[in-house]
């Protein structure tokens, strides 16, 4: 059987003008992941990342750390099918319908860094409405069904190309991992997103595959961060 590691990117720059940049903490998390894989003696046969900068940089930093321990590393491939869903689009599309019930929501969205817990609560409400289809199909926003179809397309292409016994790392995002868990385990979208909010930056979920049969072995492993005994490295956004 082969091994597939779904890795969430390091902490990005939440609340900054460009979210898609790793924070200093995100860089440390990515280095810790690569060093942990080296300590495990994990040989990666293939590495894939989405096109988002935070995904690409997490992969590059982790692989550099792995290589620094004399581990051979494969070329990093890019597959946009593993990109995250459009969170800004979800907010832009679904926020107006939320305002009558949550009149302070606009202020929270504008000051998300200072109101993290309230932002998360409101964002979770909008994501729920998104995956339940509570928006029009012609508003330009990628639907949950289209998102999961895209993620599944990436997975099927990966499995088509995989060889028996390979170790494959996919550097992606929390929503993409949730969609893959939905696909692999059959859990509902609501259940998948309940897990999504628990996915730690640079944690990895381990799947086993044989041909196109895939099963979940480990979810949201954070050992590389926990062993450093630095609580600040455990981040969710």
Residues 105 and 178 in one domain: no
Residues 113 and 201 in one domain: no
DSSP the chain: -EEEEEEEPPPB-TTSS-SSSB-HHHHHHHHHHHHHHHHHTPPPSEEEE-SSHHHHHHHHHHHHHHHTTT---PPEEE-GGGPPP-HHHHHHHHHHHHTTT-TTHHHHHHTGGG-HHHHHHHHHHHHHHHHTT-S-TTSSPPPHHHHHHHHHHHHHHHHHH--TT-EEEEEE-HHHHHHHHHHHH---HHHHHHHHTTPPTT-EEEEEEETTEEEEEEEEE-HHHHTTT-GGG----
Residues 98 and 127 in one domain: yes
Q: What is the mean pLDDT of residues 147-169?
A: 96
Residues 80 and 91 in one domain: no
∠ CA 4-88-190 to the nearest 5 degrees? Answer: 55
Query: What percent of the chain stands above pLDDT 70?
Result: 97
Overall domain count for the chain = 2
Residues 73 and 173 in one domain: yes
Tell me if 153 is assigned to some domain.
yes
pLDDT band at 17 (very low <50, low <70, confident <90, very high): low
Residues 160 and 173 in one domain: yes
Query: Over 90: is that where the pLDDT of 216 sits?
Result: yes
Residues 47 and 117 in one domain: no
Residues 6+ apart with CB under 8 A from 39: 69
Residues 177 and 65 in one domain: yes
Q: What is the CATH number of the domain that holds 48?
A: 3.40.50.1240
Per the structure, the complete domain to which residue 100 belongs is given by: 87-131
Q: What is the pLDDT of residues 34-61, one digit of tens each?
A: 999 999 999 999 999 999 999 999 999 9
Tell me if 91 is assigned to some domain.
yes
């Amino acid at each position: 059987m082969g091994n597939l590691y779904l890795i969430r990117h390091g902490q990005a720059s939440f609340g900054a003008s460009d979210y898609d940049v790793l924070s200093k903490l995100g860089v440390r998390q990515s280095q810790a992941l690569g060093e942990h894989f080296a300590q495990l003696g994990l040989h990666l046969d293939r590495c894939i990342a989405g096109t988002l900068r935070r995904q690409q940089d997490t992969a590059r930093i982790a692989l550099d750390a792995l290589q620094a321990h004399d581990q051979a590393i494969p070329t990093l491939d890019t597959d946009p099918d593993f990109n995250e869903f459009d969170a800004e689009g979800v907010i832009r599309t679904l926020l107006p319908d939320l305002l009558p019930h949550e009149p302070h929501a606009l202020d929270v969205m504008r000051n998300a860094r200072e109101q993290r817990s309230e932002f998360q609560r409101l964002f979770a409400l909008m994501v729920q409405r998104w995956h339940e289809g509570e928006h029009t199909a012609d508003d330009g926003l990628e639907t949950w069904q289209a998102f999961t179809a895209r993620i599944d397309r990436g997975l099927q292409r990966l499995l088509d190309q995989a060889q028996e016994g390979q170790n494959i790392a996919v550097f992606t995002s929390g929503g993409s991992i949730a969609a893959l868990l939905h696909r692999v385990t059959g859990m509902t979208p609501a259940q998948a997103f309940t897990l999504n909010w628990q996915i730690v930056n640079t944690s990895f979920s381990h799947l086993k595959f044989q041909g196109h049969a895939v099963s979940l072995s480990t979810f949201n492993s954070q050992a590389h961060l926990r062993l450093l005994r630095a609580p600040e490295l455990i981040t969710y956004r």
